[in-house]
Each structure stands twice: as structure tokens, then as C-alpha cells.
Structure 1
Amino acid sequence: MVHALERLVVRHTRRLPAPAGPAGDGAALAHRFDAALMSVGFKLSGELVGHLSGLAGPVVVETAVRTLATVREIVGDHVRHNVYFIDFPANVPDTADFWRECVAEALADDDSRARTVDQLRAGVLDLLTLPSYGRYRHGYEDMLAVHDELIAAAGDRLTVLHLGADADTEAGALYPALAGSTTPLSEEHLRDLALLAEHCADGPQPEAMPVRENRAVVNQARLRSGAAPLLDTVTDVLRLACALVDGDVTLRVPTRFRALPRRHRRALLAGLDALVAASPAKLSDVSAHGEAWKRLGERLHPHEYPHWPRAAEVFAVARGERRVPSFDSRVEELLARGEVAGAAELLASHAPGRLFRALDRLLRTADGDKQREAVLAAVERAAPRVSGRVVLSVREHVRNRAGGSAGQPRVFVNREARGWVADDTRPALADADRERVMAVLDAETRRRLPSPGRLLIDPDVLDVALPLSGRAASAGLGVLPRGSVSPVEGELLRFFTYWRQASRSTDLDLSALVLDEEYATVTWLSYTALTDVEGRHSGDITDAPDGASEFIDLRLGAVRGTYIVPQVHVYSGEGFDEVAEGFFGYMLGEGEQRGRPFEPRTVRMKSDLRGAGRVALPLAFRRDAEGRWHAHWLHLYLRGAPSANRVEGHRVTIAVVMRALMGRSYLTVRHLVALMQESGTATALWDGRTVPDAPVTFIGLERPEGLAPGSRVFTPENLRDLLPA
């Protein structure tokens, strides 16, 4: 358990919990540990080196082995990245020449000759039937033997690991940060929260858990440890039941309930009875998940517990035996009668968060200035009772509802990161209404922001989008939320993807589409276009029982377009949510810097591929008017086709998506910093080298060394904590 917590802390905080053990002279081993870390793009802080140097050698070695395994997985170096063309990026053949070579080899093979001849006569050739196509023709060690060692360059990434407290203390600090997060967590973070909640079940608990999914995970741990669950809605009980059977606590996917232990059944029914007895109006929430309640009722057997009659009412409502109008139906009835002001007042009084989410619709359907004024007044009254995340989300939404938005492409992204585009047919919001709403929201955000003392800002973090959703970013290294923009420094840009199939043959294809400033196709690199002026593709791998990798190498100076859009397609087999493992990333090199196809020190970003679609768009690259390149973070999955997805078939769709995304404005760290400055906060830009002697609040991409004790640090790993509650 301690080692699992240590790994979790390193991933989330880039701090290594202080190893404990007998004293000794571990200086030499600590420096060897540091050198080994540098080979994968990490290093120890001076403070951490000093701590390890005072420990006995075996303690340092054990710590090094565990930590190296963790950081290699973070960066994607825990697997063997082979390539189809052994010399990649050198000596990649022309696509047509390569295919002719594969055909010639098939004709020379007794087992495949007849089948290949038949296909050639028919005029349709299936590349997958050619013996030499799509499968590695050399081993991993053979590939390494033909590549030189990487020559270190000044631009190589070095991520610093800092010294933390002991594992229990670090876990105790991380637990309330995740449990009390104001934004929904990703699936990986929810799994981490479950581990932390179990470990911390007997200790202090978060004061508030605004995200219901987090509450369900914590309640599961509390129930298993004998503590009472924390419940305030009937849906909390349903989420807890899903957690107890390892189902979906977000309630997006139907959960198959199984038999529960009697103590769990009693806890769930007792919780329901107490909630409904205290507030019968809470029964109105049942119909939103009626089918799930009916399935759960078959497992809980509420009729066996007549002393909890209020719990039985929940299932009667779910079965339709008792009618309880839902809150949403009351709102809809008012709107159907044209009573927009009444609907706004009802929402403001009982569900201020829903008022904010319905704001656009209410303003559009308001009939005349009097109704619009009633809606705006309701927003002003309700603002102090709306969560900070919703306040900021609505602020971002309203900013994008300028008069010119009508008729423009509108991008939608659901909670599974599935994206699609449609024309914006909504009438524009009046500029005066937009300005008034934004002023209210900014004032409310400014009021809630804590006084940070002296603020020290890394300029590169200013254009990082605020993490308003857990699905706005994938788990990994160097990953920023959707909508973020970050500079790209380097001449050689290399994309990579790795996947390992779980149970059936799976072919993922890495591609890169180059678009001009009007989003028209310039060219692409893929298995159907191995070479072009821009770069090289490493070759197509069509089966990955032991894992497979594909790479694309580009020289940014040779790119003829404005946008580069890397993408991963499911050609056949398992989807991104089904493979045993899958990730994407990119590396940056300088000049003629050479090395293996995968060099962990040059990895700038690595993210897991987990999404509900057959085409993944992790990010895109844009060249500005001065010729500088920037990464724009997308984290999108397109539906695609069930099979045979290729870059050629999605060029138009991707161009439309790119146009919509590039036209959207996101709230960034810059917005919060500006609000802090308006409140009188002293702010300085970090020069990347020196730090003040006094404590500061630092916001940046990575924690600098030497910050004074008492400093607060916000990096992408915990940027959600910067959002006001």
C-alpha cells in the first residue's frame, strides 16, 4: 500500500515522499539515481539529493528502482517502441515503391503467391494479405543497434522531482485536494481517489465535496470501513450503490447491479429513508434515473424493511406507482406558458446552478425587456450561491455568444470527450445583456478569489485554459486542458502512438494532416503517404499482441501549411476504451539531433488514449504570422466509422472541427490573474531562473527549485485548486 501511495503521489504532485530508513552514506548512489532519471527526462531536486545522500545504500537503491519505474510509465518509456522501417526516420521508402516490394515478396512466397495473383487479376489488392506487410521484420534490439545514442541538447526536457513529506502525510494532503475538487475528475483520478479514500477513511475528511462522483467514491470507502456515508440527495444513494458494485458513478453507463451484503443494503435503505423523511421533495429527483432505481430495487428488497417506509416510496416513484412531478417538469410548464420570469425565479430560489445553465435559453425566449430584466436580476441574486466552476463555465459560454456567432460552426463535446460540430442557429444575445452578465460573473469570481499575497507567474502558463471539466484533459505527462495554447520550441517534431490489444487483433493508425490558413488540405502523412516534403512515417503495424508503435517525423521549417493535426484512427479491432493500453505523445528535437525513434528526454507530452470514438484528435499545431509554432490542446474523439478509418476519409470533418475550435475563446489563467490584479495583488513575471526569498504564490508549468517555505504552488497537476469554490 505504501508503494502504491508513493507512486500515486509522484504522478500527481511530482514530489517523492521522503524515504525512511537507516542513516548511511548514500551520496554516490543518489547521484547515480539522478543520472538514471536524467536519461528519461527527470531529475532530483537538490533538496532530494541531499535527503537521499544521508540514507543507507539499500534504501536509496530500492527507492530508485520504484521511482524509475513510475517515471518511465509517466513518460511512456515502460514499453518497447519498435518501428517497421528499422532506420526510421532515414531510408523510409516511397509508398508505391514499398507496396510494390511487398507484392514482389508475396509473389516469391509459395504460400501467398496464388492468393496474390488472384487479387491482382481482380484489380483489388488487400495489403493485409501480404506476408511482409504490417508486422515487424526485426526485433527491438536489432532496431536499437542501428541507432546512435541521443546527444543531449539544451532543449531536452528535465522534469524535477521534489522532496515530499512521508507517504502518509502526502497522501493525506492529496486526498482532500481530489475529494474536494470543484471540477469533475477523470476516470484515472477517480480510481486514485478510491485508493486514497480507503487509506484515509479513518482520518480527517474533506469539509466539502461539491462533485457528486467524488462523493460516491468517498462514500464507498467510508461504508466499507464502517463509517456512515455522507448523503444529501437520493441520487447520492444511487451513485453509492453503483460504486459498491464497481459500476459507473457518473450514471452515464447503465450499471449491472448484483447482490449486495445485508449491511450495505441496510445502509442504502436507511440513508434513503432519512433523506425522504427530512425532505419529501427530494423524491422529484428519482424519475431522472428511474430505470436504474428499478434495477437497484430488485437487489435491495425494500419490502423486507417495513420500518423504513420512506425508502420504499423511492422505488414506487421509479415504477410509476406514485407520481411526483420533477423540478425540471415544473420549470418546463412555466416556460410552455411563456412565464419566463416565473421560471427564472423558481430556478433562482431552488436551483441556482440550473438557472445559470439555462441562462442562454431564458434570455433567448424572454419576451420583451421586462422578462429579460427579470432573468438578469435573478442571475444577480443567485450568483453567490452558484459553484465557482459553473460561474466560470457560464462566463466562457457568454463570451462566445457575441452577435457574430450566429451561423458559425459550433463545437459540442460530451463527458466522454466525443466531439461533433453543427451550425449555430441560435439568435444572438444582446450585447448589453452579455456585458451585464459578464460583469456580474467577474465580480463574483473576484470576490471569491483568495488573497494570494505576492503572485509569481510563469508567462507560459497564462494561455493555459482553466480546467473546468475533468474530461478537458487526458492523464499523462505535460498535458494541458482543452483550449490551452503553449509555445513549441524546436525544429524536429515527432509524434508517437503505442497500443497493446487486449483480446483481438487491433490496428491503430497514426496520421498527420497539414492544413492551410483556410483549413484546406495541403498534404498528409500516414501509412498511405509515407513520405513528403514535411517528413516521414515509420510504417504501418496491423497487429499488437505484444504492443506496437508508430511514429511521424516532421521538420517544422519544411511544413507548407498553417496547421498540423496529428490523429490516431482505429482501422480495425478494439476501440480506445477497449485496448489493454494506448497512448499518444510528441517529442521535440533540435537541428540534426539524432537518437532512437523514442527518446524519453525529448518527450514533451504523453497522454492516454481513452475515449468514446474511433478517431482521436489529441492536439493541433498552428504557425502564427511570425512563423512561431504553438500547440492547441483538443482532447477530442470523433465518432468515425466502425472500421477502416483513414485520414483521407476524415479530412473535411477535421477541417470543420478545426475551424470551430480555433474560433472559440477559452477562459485561461490570464483571466484569473487579471481579476487578482484588479483586486490589488502584486504580480511579477518569473524570469525562469531566480525566485524571491519571501513566500509567494507561484503559478507555472513546473515548480521551480528554491521557493521559500510557505509558498503555494499551482501547476497543471493541481491547477483545479486555483478555481474559486
Structure 2
Amino acid sequence: MVHRLEPLVIRHTHRVPRLTGAAGQGAVAARQFDAALMSVGFKLSAELFAHLSGFSEEAVVDTAVRTLHTVREMVGDHVQHNAYFIDFPANVPDTLDFWMECIADALADATTRTSTLEQLSTGVVDLLTLPSYGNPRHTYAEMLAHHDELIAAAGDRITVLHLGASLGDELTALYLALAGRATPLGEDGLRDLQDLAGHCADGPQPQEIPVRENRAVVNQARLMTGAAPLLDTVTDVLRLACALVGGDVTLREPTRLRSLPRSMRRALLAGLDAVIAAGPAKLADVHADREMWKRLGERLHPHEYPQWPHAADVFAVARGEKTARSLDSRVEELLARGDTTAAVGLLKVAPGKLLRALDQLLRDSFTQDERDAVVAAAERSVADVSGRVLLSVRQHLHNRERETSERRVFINRLGRAWVTDDTRRPVFAPERERLITVLDTELRRRLAAREHLLIDPDVLDVALPLSGKATASGLGVLPRGSVSRVDGELLRFFVHWKQSERTTDFDLSAALLNADYSTASWLSYTNLRGVEGEHSGDITDAPDGASEFINLRLGAVRAHCIVPQINIFSGEGFEEVEESFFGFMLREGEQKGLPFEARTVRMKSELRGPGRVALPLVFLRGSDGTWRAKWLHLYLKGAPSANRVEENRVTVATLLRGIVEREQLTVRYLTELMTGSATTVTSWDGKSVPAGPVTYIGLERPDGLHPQSRIITPENLGDLIPA
């Protein structure tokens, strides 16, 4: 049963738990395991190889089977990627020639000749009615025979798997790390935490759970084992109620509440009563989720439990029978009257809200005395605000200085992006600079100096993960706003999807934009071939899964931006299909191989978001001609059907202008704050490692680090965020 959770350890930590059992001669099996891993771009560390070699061949093979299945899924190699054109990227036809060939096939087919002639008489032919369009006319095995074997190149990706602790210890450590993380987890991370919480409920627990969604998941596990849930706000209780019925603990999506067993009803009402008894002002928080509270009251029957009168007050507020003014409404009233000083005074009791409201408070301050009062209140409050909020405000103020556009880009927690007019008044430079200094000073104080920092230069431009929801799950995926180098001559995108119930057509496209974000050209099913590269062909049905590719010769691209897009032409959405993911590969010019080769994959991310158009990342050409990837993780609303790259170009250009030119706080910012007079800083050269313990920050963990070293990689980058 516990082996069911082993993939979580491998995915999150890139560690393989230690084997247990009798010693044996497993060196041959370990070598075969290593070779199999290398075929998909992974490798055993020297320590892990030596460990496996000391166990029986059977034990090593069992571990290899489980691990290979996990890493193949991580990189997208667990499915068959069959391209529409069998020789792709060779012999891709001209688009019009291909369409004419499909029409000719339809005319030669007695069952479709009449309908095709009728369409031709109108001057418009629906490609989806042509029998040879939309489905590969060859099997995956036939495609394999048309391609040479991939020859390994120095630039191929190698992800090293390291030796971990026992499986039980690894699961406990992962549970504590996820539950105690200072930043919200993404959807997949929250699901993993739920699995771990159930397994680890009787073991060690985190000292603090700062993210409320994580707390709800842990509380559910605690309640199931008879332990008291951790509750200090009314919303904690509401989230727990949602968790108990399998609903959305983030409260973004409506949860269908149902009747609960009496023991759970009593636990929820007792917890709610204790929260209000300790802080009656928390009744005001009910207004934010008033309708859900009313529905929960119908399920909990608080009138049956007169021993908890404070819990009954919660539902009275929700029904409008009891008054409880929220802090936000009182602040809004004061600002509407122009009394900024009084609003600041009121917000002092909620330091986090005060920091988040700084921009509005400064905009609404019309005298220097008012602005000074705002800054002074912030100075007194920063010590009581979470590090994540401090960093978010610091990032906002930095970009506020640079924002000169009349358009403003918004991105919600689901990755949905939209643009609107920017009508905000300016924030004056003196106050902005004073606040930035205050924030930098407080963050530097919290980041205790390390005796020895070992830093991989490639990680410095990775954006700080202020929310796990700004990053899709997958392999090699970085937070929104991160910048990474692109080394290789051939860039190849891929998308794979498998429909659940309805015929579903995803279309992979690439828009090539000029420096002013105007469209230079594009590759899609409407333009299969260009000077820059080739499209693998349009697949319109995916009952068993389907893949599309775009191949680009970077030396031939004259545009400034390359924007891969996944457009839903018809059928199920990204959150409805059984599976969908996007990624890109990099190859040397002479590397042939299959359309999909796992060891050339640099990134594979899940596609799970709202909207009908996905923008995972953008590739930007630098002034020196080199290419960099900037991570977006965005979803556009799009149209219900027939989304095409040509029709999205205005929206995409506007979004990119606002996002590409926006600067994120990166690892570089935090490492500069960490480097004090007592800190030794070494730049990782990819070769030698220091003998003693270090704090290593990089994209991949080096082999041979001291066992007492603290290791920060993209998998646990959130641990850098100060509490």
C-alpha cells in the first residue's frame, strides 16, 4: 500500500527511497536500470547506483519497474506520440497542396463524392468532412520504421536521481514540507498533500501551517483520526467542511454540501464556537462566503446544539439576522469620505491588509502628512506580515515605478489573464522608494546569513514562487515570469491530449512576433510549412490520445518572439479531457530521431486551466541573438469553438507586452539579500563541490554534496520564501 505513494517522492524530490531487505548482487541489474533511465533522460547518482548494487537482482528490478513508470510519466513518455505526417519534420507538404489532396481523396470515395461536390459548388469546403483529414493514416509502429535512431548529443537532458532515506521517512519529510510551505500549492500539489496527510496523520506534524488551504487538508486527516482540527478563523471551518465532502478547499469553485455524520457536525460546530468565543470580531468574516454559510447551516443543524451559541451567531450573520460589519467595509467607507488617516488607523489591527492596501492608500492621500502617515504605519507593521506578502508588495512597488502603459494586465489564481485600461493615479517616487527600503530591510533581517552559499548561475533569473498556482506541475517547469536559457539549434513543441467522452480537437500553433509584438508569421494547421519550420499536421479526434508537433530552426527565425499556443478548436476543455500536457524539446542540427524523444525534452507541463487558449511560455531573442524562455502559464477565455492563432494575435500581443516587460522578483534578489559579511558565496561551475556543508541553490542538485547541506532546487524553491 505504501508503495502507492512512492511516485510522489520521486516527482517532488528526484530521490529514490532506500531499499530494505537482504543483501545481494544487484550490480548488473542496477547497470541495466541506469541504461534504461538514460534512454528517457534520467540517470542514477553514484551513491544510488552503489546502494542498489548491494541488494538482490529481484529487488533492484522491482524498484526499476516502479521508477521507470514514474519518470516516463514525468517526461511525457508514457504515451505513444504519433505524428500525422509519417516523416515529420521531413516531407511536410504545402498546406494548399495537402488540402487539395484531401479533396481529391474525398471525390474518389463514392460515399463522400456528392457532398464534397456540393461544398465545392459553394466555394467553401469543411475540412472535417473529408475522410482523409484529421486522423493519421499510419500506425505508431509504421512511423517508427520511418525514423532513424536518435544519436546522443552532449546537450541532451540528464536528470539525476539521488538516494533518499527510507520510504516512510521520505513520505513524512515530504508531508511536512508541503503542509508547512509558506506559499499556496498548485492543484496537483494540494492533491498530493491530501494523499500524504491521510498516510501521515498519526506521525509528526508541522509546527505551523501558514497556508489556509493546506490547513484544511491536514484538518480533514486529523478529524478522521480523532484529533482536534487546527482552527482560528471561521473560514478554516468552512474549508474543512468542504474538504469533508470532497469539495474545493480553495473556495474558488462552488461545493455541493451534503449531510455529514453527527460526529463531524459536532466537531465543526464546536470548532466554530471556540473561534468566535475567542474573537467575536471574526463574525465579520462570514460576509465573504455568506451563501455557502447559509447552505452549511442547513446541513449542520446548529439549533440542535444550544451548548454552542457562538456557532449559531455565525449562521445568524449569514442570514442577515445579526449585524457584524467587516473591517473592509469600514475601511471602504472611510476612504469614500476621503479620510485616509482614519482608514490607516483602522488597518493597523490587520497588518497584512494594510500592506496589501498601500497602493490605494497612497493614491487616495492628497497631502504629504497623509502619505507620511501611510508609510509610517507600514514601517511599524512589516514585522507582523508574512514574507510572501512582503515580497508581493515589494514586486508590485518595483513595477509601479516602471508601468507607463495605458493598459493593465490582470492574472487570477487560475492563470486566466485579461487586459483593461489603467486608470490609477500615480504613486509618488519618494514614498515608493521609502517603502521599498523598508521592505528590503525587513526581508534581509529574516533571511539569516548562511555560512556558505553555493549558487548555480542558471537559477538566478528564476522567479520566486509566491504562489504555487503560478506554476503548472510537470518536469523542468519554472514559476511564471522566470527566464531560462535556450541552447540548441532545433526547437520542437509538442502537445498531447486524450478526450474523455466527446470528440476533442486541440490545435498546436506558434505565433512569430516582431519586436513591437506585431505578427511576422505563424505555423499552424492553416500554415504547415514555412522558412522557420514545420507543423506535424492537424489531428481532430483523440479517443486513444493524440499528439501534434511544431519544429523550428532557430537560426532561420527572424522574429523577436515565438509564442506557442494550444487552441481548443472543438470538444472538451483543458480541465475536462482525461489527460493533456505541453512541452518542448531541444536538439542539435544533426540529431534525427522520432518526433518525440524523451531525453531531448526540456520541459513538460500539465495543461489544466480555464479558458480555451493556453499560453505556456514565450521564447524571446536577446540583443546578442541568443534565445531565452519566459514562463507564462496563462489561459485566455477564447471562443467556445474554432479558436485559431490568427484570431488571437491582437489579444496575445497586448498580453505579452504587459507581461514580458514586467519584472519579477527572482532568486537573484533573495541571494543578494542573503549575502552578508559572514557569508561565503561560490558560483557552481558544474564540476567540483565544497567539502563541507553548504546551502546549494540551483536547477539540479549536484552529486557529491555534503550530507548536511541544505539543497534548494525548483522542486522546493518555495522554501526560500522567508516566514
TM-score range, shorter chain: over 0.9
1:668, 1:466 → 2: CA distance?
5
Q: Give the aligned length.
A: 723
Instruction: Give the alignment partner of residue 426 of structure 1, picking from 424, 427, 449.
Output: 424
Q: Which residue identity does 2:368 align to in structure 1?
A: D
Aligned partner of residue 668 in structure 2, secondary structure: helix
Q: CA deviation at 1:185?
A: 0.4
Partner of 1:53: 53
Partner of 1:10: 10
Q: Which residue identity does 1:82 align to in structure 2?
A: N
Q: CA deviation at 1:424?
A: 2.3
Q: Is the 8 A contact 1:409 1:659 kept in 2?
A: no
Q: Which residue identity does 1:364 align to in structure 2?
A: R
Q: Which residue identity does 1:599 align to in structure 2?
A: E
1:679, 1:605 → 2: CA distance?
38
Q: C-alpha offsets along residues 123-142 of structure 1, whole Å, 9 cap, x if unaligned?
A: 11110000010012111111
Instruction: Give the alignment partner of residue 618 of structure 1, picking from 608, 616, 619.
Output: 616
1:306, 1:425 → 2: CA distance?
52
1:704 is the counterpart of 2:712 = no
Partner of 1:549: 547
Q: Which residue identity does 1:388 align to in structure 2?
A: G
Q: C-alpha offsets along residues 588-634 of structure 1, whole Å, 9 cap, x if unaligned?
A: 00021000100000000000001111110000101111110000111
Partner of 2:642: 644
Partner of 2:496: 498
Q: CA deviation at 1:8?
A: 0.3
Partner of 1:668: 666
Instruction: Give the alignment partner of residue 633 of structure 1, picking from 631, 634, 655.
Output: 631
Counterparts of 1:269-284 in structure 2, within 5 Å, are 269-284=269-284
Partner of 1:356: 355
1:406, 1:148 → 2: CA distance?
52
Q: CA deviation at 1:410?
A: 2.1
Q: C-alpha offsets along residues 352-387 of structure 1, whole Å, 9 cap, x if unaligned?
A: 111111110000001200110110001000000000
Q: Which moved more, 1:333-342 or 1:279-288?
A: 333-342
Q: Is the 8 A contact 1:512 1:565 kept in 2?
A: yes
Q: Which residue identity does 2:422 align to in structure 1?
A: D
Counterparts of 1:11-410 in structure 2, within 5 Å, are 11-348=11-348, 350-402=349-401, 405-410=403-408
Give unmatched runs, 5+ long, in structure 2.
none
Q: CA deviation at 1:406?
A: 3.9
Q: Which moved more, 1:301-310 or 1:473-482?
A: 301-310
Partner of 1:463: 461
1:552, 1:172 → 2: CA distance?
42
2:448, 2:174 → 1: CA distance?
20
Aligned partner of residue 554 in structure 1, secondary structure: strand
2:579, 2:453 → 1: CA distance?
40
Q: Is the 8 A contact 1:181 1:211 kept in 2?
A: yes
Q: Which residue identity does 1:377 align to in structure 2?
A: A
Q: C-alpha offsets along residues 449-476 of structure 1, whole Å, 9 cap, x if unaligned?
A: 1222200100000000000111111000
User: Moved runs in structure 1, 4+ residues, more than 6 A?
Assistant: none
Q: C-alpha offsets along residues 76-125 of structure 1, whole Å, 9 cap, x if unaligned?
A: 00011001000000000000000000000000001111111111111111
Q: CA deviation at 1:5?
A: 2.2
Q: C-alpha offsets along residues 537-579 of structure 1, whole Å, 9 cap, x if unaligned?
A: 0000001111000000000000010110001001101111111
1:300, 1:550 → 2: CA distance?
50
1:359, 1:532 → 2: CA distance?
50
2:477, 2:399 → 1: CA distance?
24
1:724, 1:53 → 2: CA distance?
40
Q: CA deviation at 1:520?
A: 1.2
Q: CA deviation at 1:4?
A: 2.3
Q: Is the 8 A contact 2:449 2:676 kept in 1?
A: no
Q: C-alpha offsets along residues 257-280 of structure 1, whole Å, 9 cap, x if unaligned?
A: 011111111100111111112221
Aligned partner of residue 401 in structure 1, secondary structure: helix
1:646, 1:423 → 2: CA distance?
25
Q: CA deviation at 1:37?
A: 0.2
Instruction: Give the alignment partner of residue 572 of structure 1, picking from 553, 570, 573.
Output: 570
Q: CA deviation at 1:337?
A: 2.0
Q: C-alpha offsets along residues 479-513 of structure 1, whole Å, 9 cap, x if unaligned?
A: 00001000000000000000001111110000000
Give unmatched runs, 5+ long, in structure 1.
none
Q: Which moved more, 1:13-22 or 1:527-536?
A: 13-22
Q: C-alpha offsets along residues 46-104 of structure 1, whole Å, 9 cap, x if unaligned?
A: 00000000001110010000000000000000011001000000000000000000000
1:450, 1:539 → 2: CA distance?
54
Q: C-alpha offsets along residues 218-260 of structure 1, whole Å, 9 cap, x if unaligned?
A: 0011111111100000110000000011111111111100111
1:485, 1:495 → 2: CA distance?
18
Q: Is the 8 A contact 2:153 2:588 kept in 1?
A: yes
Q: Which residue identity does 1:656 align to in structure 2?
A: T
Q: Is the 8 A contact 1:405 1:424 kept in 2?
A: no
Aligned partner of residue 717 in structure 1, secondary structure: helix
Instruction: Give the alignment partner of residue 601 of structure 2, picking from 578, 582, 603.
Output: 603
Instruction: State the TM-score, normalizing by the size of structure 2.
Output: 0.99
* Cα root mean square deviation, aligned: 0.9
Aligned partner of residue 675 in structure 2, secondary structure: helix
Q: Is the 8 A contact 1:406 1:427 kept in 2?
A: no
Q: Which residue identity does 1:383 align to in structure 2?
A: V
Q: Is the 8 A contact 2:41 2:598 kept in 1?
A: yes
Q: Is the 8 A contact 1:69 1:78 kept in 2?
A: yes
2:585, 2:658 → 1: CA distance?
27
Q: Is the 8 A contact 1:233 1:282 kept in 2?
A: yes
2:406, 2:49 → 1: CA distance?
55
Q: C-alpha offsets along residues 154-202 of structure 1, whole Å, 9 cap, x if unaligned?
A: 0000000000000110111111111111111000000010111111111
Q: CA deviation at 1:680?
A: 4.2
Q: CA deviation at 1:3?
A: 1.4
Q: Which moved more, 1:335-344 or 1:166-175?
A: 335-344
Counterparts of 1:398-547 in structure 2, within 5 Å, are 398-402=397-401, 405-547=403-545
Q: CA deviation at 1:681?
A: 2.1
Q: CA deviation at 1:647?
A: 0.1
Aligned partner of residue 30 in structure 2, secondary structure: helix
Q: Which residue identity does 1:514 align to in structure 2?
A: L
Q: Which residue identity does 1:333 align to in structure 2?
A: E
Q: Is the 8 A contact 2:451 2:678 kept in 1?
A: no
Aligned partner of residue 588 in structure 1, secondary structure: strand
Aligned partner of residue 541 in structure 1, secondary structure: coil
2:577, 2:469 → 1: CA distance?
19
Q: Which residue identity does 2:512 align to in structure 1?
A: V
Q: CA deviation at 1:679?
A: 5.5
Aligned partner of residue 379 in structure 2, secondary structure: helix
Q: Is the 8 A contact 1:463 1:669 kept in 2?
A: yes
Partner of 1:718: 716
Q: C-alpha offsets along residues 306-358 of structure 1, whole Å, 9 cap, x if unaligned?
A: 2212111111110111111111111112212222112112212x211111111
Q: Is the 8 A contact 1:406 1:424 kept in 2?
A: no
Q: Which residue identity does 2:335 align to in structure 1?
A: L
Q: Is the 8 A contact 1:406 1:426 kept in 2?
A: no
Q: Which residue identity does 2:551 align to in structure 1?
A: D
